[in-house]
Amino acid sequence: MKTKVVCLLAVVALILAFAFITAAPAAPNAPGGKATPTATSQPGNTTADPAEPHPQIREALGALRRAKEHLEHAAHDFGGHRVEALRATDEAIRQLEICLKYDKD
């Protein structure tokens, strides 16, 4: 049982790590810590949407939902760990959705 929990936590950690890695910027900001302006952040540009809040959390949610979809439709049970992985994935999704909800409050 302890091994299953450790494996499950490792799977969830890898999924979250992958989501954060893919959402990381490709290059650092300009020297001096000042961000380079983009077309959406230039003054006078009123048609652009504001920056999405917490893009890494939203990317992690997407990655977890894709992983859950894959697990649900997989042809095998991953050595008996699929059901527990689905439970952990559901819990991780629920926790991230709560995080986003509290940001709105």
The pLDDT confidence band at residue 103, using thresholds 50, 70 and 90, is confident
Q: What proportion of the chain, given as a percentage, has pLDDT over 90?
A: 34
Write down the pLDDT at residue 72.
92
Question: Quick check: 45 pLDDT over 70?
Answer: no
Write down the pLDDT at residue 67.
93
Which of 51-60, 68-77, 90-99 shows the lowest mean pLDDT across its residues?
Answer: 51-60
Is residue 86 helix, strand or coil? helix
Instruction: Write down the domain spans for the chain.
Output: 2-24+54-104
Do the beta carbons of residue 59 and residue 20 sit within 8 Å?
Answer: yes
Do the beta carbons of residue 56 and residue 18 sit within 8 Å?
Answer: no
Q: Provide the 10 A C-beta neighbour count for residue 19.
A: 21
The pLDDT confidence band at residue 46, using thresholds 50, 70 and 90, is very low
